[in-house]
């Protein structure tokens, strides 16, 4: 299994606020190499599938509405220890709890609209990357 890759989405709030460039710049400056990248929009079915692990949670419906309301930027990132290091770079799920300098501290508004996604394991990074990208789109 590839263990030096993770998957991210810049969520609709980040795109709406014009933060694509600033967030990608921070990701690059933090040592991650972008090996796949696209602006795309999730369908309701896409978002339900992507977040199926949360389907019993009270926020699931709102999460699906939020994630489908506009375009996202999907990317696969490469770096040693990518999954863990990227979770550190984005900060806690709730930006109020996120460390200074993290992407969520800098760019997120709330626990629901929190600017970025980061895979939580190598296994999920591979599943999530394959959900959004064909092999020929990964460099």
- Rounded to whole angstroms, the Cα distance separating 26 from 50 reads 25
CA-closest candidate to residue 74, choices 26, 136, 138: 138
Q: What residues line the site for Mg ion (CB under 5 A)?
A: 120
Closer by beta carbon to ligand UDP, 13 or else 79: 13
Place of tokens 């977040």: 51
Selection from Mg ion, ligand UDP, none that 24 binds (CB < 5 to 8 A by kind) is none
Q: What does the per-residue mask of binding to ligand UDP show for 99-128, with x meaning CB under 6 A?
A: ------------xx-x--x--x--------
93 binds ligand UDP (CB under 6 A): yes
Quick one: DSSP state of residue 39? E
**CA atoms of 122 and 85, how far apart (whole Å):** 12
Please choose which of Mg ion, ligand UDP, none residue 55 contacts, taking the beta carbon within 5 to 8 angstroms, the exact cut-off set by kind: none
Q: How far is the CB of 38 from ligand UDP (least distance, A)?
A: 20
Instruction: State how beta strands 72-78 and 5-10 pair.
Output: antiparallel
- Of the pair 63, 125, the CB lying nearest ligand UDP is at 63
Residue 113 DSSP symbol: S
């Amino acid at each position: 299994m590839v263990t030096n890759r993770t998957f991210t989405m810049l969520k609709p709030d980040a795109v709406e606020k014009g933060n694509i460039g600033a967030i990608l710049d921070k990701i690059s400056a933090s040592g991650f190499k972008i090996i796949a990248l696209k602006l795309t929009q999730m369908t309701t079915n896409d978002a339900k599938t992507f977040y199926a692990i949360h389907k019993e949670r009270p926020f699931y419906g709102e999460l699906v509405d939020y994630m489908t309301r506009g375009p996202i930027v999907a990317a696969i990132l490469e770096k040693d220890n990518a999954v863990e290091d990227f979770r550190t770079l984005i900060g806690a799920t709730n930006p109020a709890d996120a460390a200074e300098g993290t992407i969520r501290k800098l760019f997120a508004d709330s626990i629901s609209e929190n600017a970025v996604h980061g895979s939580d394991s190598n296994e999920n990074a591979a599943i999530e990357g394959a959900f959004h990208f064909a092999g020929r789109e990964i460099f």
